[in-house]
A and B are shown apart, each in its own frame.
Chain A
Amino acid sequence: MAYSKMNIAELSALLQKREVSAKELAADALKAIAETDGTIGAYLTVAEEEAYRQAEAADKMLADGTAGALTGIPFAMKDNICTKGVRTTCASKMLEHWLPVYDACVTERLKAAGAVMLGKTNMDEYAMGSSSENSALQLTRNPAAPDYVPGGSSGGSTAAVAADECAFAIGSDTGGSIRQPASFCGVVGMKPTYGTVSRFGLVAYASSFDQIGPITKTVADNAAVLEAISCHDRRDSTSLPEFDTAYSALIGKDLSGMKIGLPKEYFGEGINDNVAALVRNAAAKLEQAGAVIEECSLPAVSYALPAYYVLCCAEASSNLARFDGIRYGFRAEGIEDLESLYRKTRTQGFGKEVRRRILLGNYVLSAGYYDAYYKKAQQARTLLIRAFRELFGKYDLLLTPVAPTPAYKIGEKSADPMEMALGDICTVPVNLGGLPAISVPCGKAASDGAELPVGFQLIGPAFSEAKIYQAAAAYESGITAQ
C-alpha cells in the first residue's frame, strides 16, 4: 500500500480498522522522506526516534479506544514552533543547535491527539521571506518543478505535504506564509482567525500578525487539523477566550444562499493572466455549487503592502532583540565586552534579510519618524479593517488569487527583496485584518515547460472558518446545487 500518498481521512480509516499500525505508518513515512527529501530538501531535522516513540503511544490509544481523527497520522512541523528536545532552528545560524526546553501549545495539542511528528521543516529565516530561499541552512525545491521555489516562508511544510513526505504539516502565516507556498506547491493551506490558535511556543516574528495553521492534501483534512490545534490558551495573552471550533460542520453542504465577492483590485495590473483565469474558473464552479458571485471593490488594498511592511519590520526589530548571544546558543567568539558581544553575535548569527528588516524596523520606530511611518501604518490598518467590515456586510466570503504569479525559478527574485515583497500583495490584507483565509489548488499554469500549481484564496470575516471550509470543499468535490 502506498500509505504516504494517502490523506488523513484515508489513513485514519485504515488505523481505526487496525489494517495498519501507527508504527508501520511512521516507518513508511520515514522511508518516503529518505527516498525523496534528498532532492526536495523539505526537512531540516528528521526526528526518527521521537516519531517511533509517538507512534507507540498512538498505537496504545488505538488499542484502548481513546484514538481520535489524528491518532497515528504522520506530520511535519515548521521549524519556528518549539518541540521539546528536538532542535528548533528558525532556519537561522542563531538557533542552529537550540533545543527548546518546552513544547509549543500546538505541539502539545498534536501530541495529545496522538499525531506522530516526523521532523521539522525548512523555512525562510525567522519566517522572513516568500520563497524559503532566505533559509540559512538549506535549499528547498518545489516538488512540482524542482528548479522552482516552493514559496515561503512555510515552504518546507508545503513541499513536504506536496511530495508525500507526510500526511499534513503545520505552518505559520504572518503575511501569507502558509497560503502562498500552499498555492505554489498545490496543497491546501489555512490561516485561521487571529487568536484562535495559541502562539505559545511559536518563535515570534511580528506578533500582531503571526498565526499558526494547517497544511493538508484535502479541505476536510485541513478542518480536522484545525479542530485539533485550535483552543484558548492562558499562556498566550492574545488567545481568544471563547469561540466555536466545529470547523467541519458545514462541509458537504452546497452553497445555496452564499454570496461571494470578487474584489476587482485583485484581478488587475500585475496579476498573471493564467492565475486570473484559473481563479475566475473557480468562481464559476462555486456558482454551480449554488453561490452568488459578484464583482466588488476593495480600494484599501492599495496601501496594505506598505502598511504591512512598516508594521512587521517594527515588530520584528523588537521581537528579535532577544537574540543577544547570551541565551539561545550561538555566541560570537573572541569577545571582550558586552556591547560587542551583542553586535558581533547578531551580525554573524542573522542572515541578510533578517538584518535588513531589523534595521528598517528600528528606522520606522525611531524618534522623528514614528508618526510618519509607524503610526500612519497603524491608521492605514484601521481603514483597511473598516473596508473589510463594510464588504462583509454584503458578502459572506471574498474570492481572490493567493499570489500574483505561480512559483518562480530559484534565484530569480532572491536578489531583489522589493520584488519579492510585491508578491505578498494578495495575502497581507488578511493578516492586517486578523481574518481567516484559505488557499485551495485550482489548476496549473504552464511556464517554461513546467506545470506550476495555482491556488485561489477565500477570505472571510473573523470566525467564518466553517463557511470557508464549506465553500472550499464544495469547489474541491465539484458539488452542484439542486
Chain B
Amino acid sequence: MQLDQKTLDTLQWLSRLDIPENETEALSESIAEMLTFFQQLSALDTEGVEPTAHIAPLENVLREDIPAEDRIDRETLLSGTESEDGLITLPRVIG
C-alpha cells in the first residue's frame, strides 16, 4: 500500500514540511504500513465508551491577575531569534 500524491500533498501542507524526493517512496510506504497497523483498532468494540484525552483530572488553573516575579525580560526572550529593535524579523508575509 502507498499513499496517493494528493494525500501526501495535503499531509505536507498540514505539517508545514516537504518530503524530500528521494524519501517519498519509503516514507509513503512506512506511513501506509503504520496506518494499516492502526486499523487493528477497528476490531475493538467501543460502543458507548468515553474517550480518554488525558489521565489527569484536568481543571482550569486560576490565579489573581498580578504580574509574576519570575517574568523573563524582552531581550532575553528574543535571544536565539533574528531580531531588530526588540522585534522579531520575518520574511514578507503578504506577496
Contact = CB atoms under 8 A, between A and B. Distances in A.
Contacts, number: 158
A378 B53 contact: yes
Nearest to B95: A337
A364 interface: yes
Interface stretch (A96-104, A212-220, A255-263): A96-104
B46 A383 contact: yes
A347 interface: yes
Given A362-B11, A379-B46, A382-B49, A307 B61 contact: no
Given A238-B54, A328-B80, A379-B49, A338 B90 contact: yes
Interface of A is mostly: helix
Interface string B1-40: 0000001001110111111100100010011011101111
Contact of B38 (A101, A309, A340, A417): A309
B59 to A, nearest CB: 8
B23 A327 contact: no
Interface string A292-323: 00000000000101110110000001000100
B55 A327 contact: no
Contacts of A237: 58, 61
Given A343-B16, A362-B14, A306 B51 contact: no
A326 interface: yes
A358 B11 CA distance: 9
Contacts of B46: 376, 379-380, 383
A341 B93 CA distance: 10
B90 A341 contact: yes
B81 A376 contact: no
Given A307-B41, A338-B93, A359-B12, A379 B34 contact: no
Interface residues of A, number: 66
Interface string A65-91: 000000000000000000000000000
Interface residues of B, number: 51
B92 A347 contact: no
B63 to A, nearest CB: 7
A366 B95 CA distance: 28
Contacts of B93: 337-338
A433 B92 contact: no
Interface stretch (A55-63, A175-183, A349-357): A349-357
A341 B91 contact: yes
B50 interface: yes
Interface string A195-217: 10000000000001000000000
Given A327-B80, A327-B81, A366-B10, A306 B50 contact: no
Nearest to A330: B80
Closest 9 CB pairs of A and B: A434-B55, A378-B51, A379-B46, A346-B17, A362-B14, A342-B16, A379-B49, A381-B52, A382-B52
Given A342-B16, A363-B7, 4 more contacts: A234-B63, A327-B80, A358-B15, A359-B19
Interface of A: 97-99, 101-102, 194-195, 208, 234, 237-238, 240, 303, 305-307, 309-310, 317, 321, 324, 326-329, 331, 335-344, 346-347, 350, 352, 355-356, 358-360, 362-364, 366, 372-373, 375-383, 385, 417-418, 421, 433-434
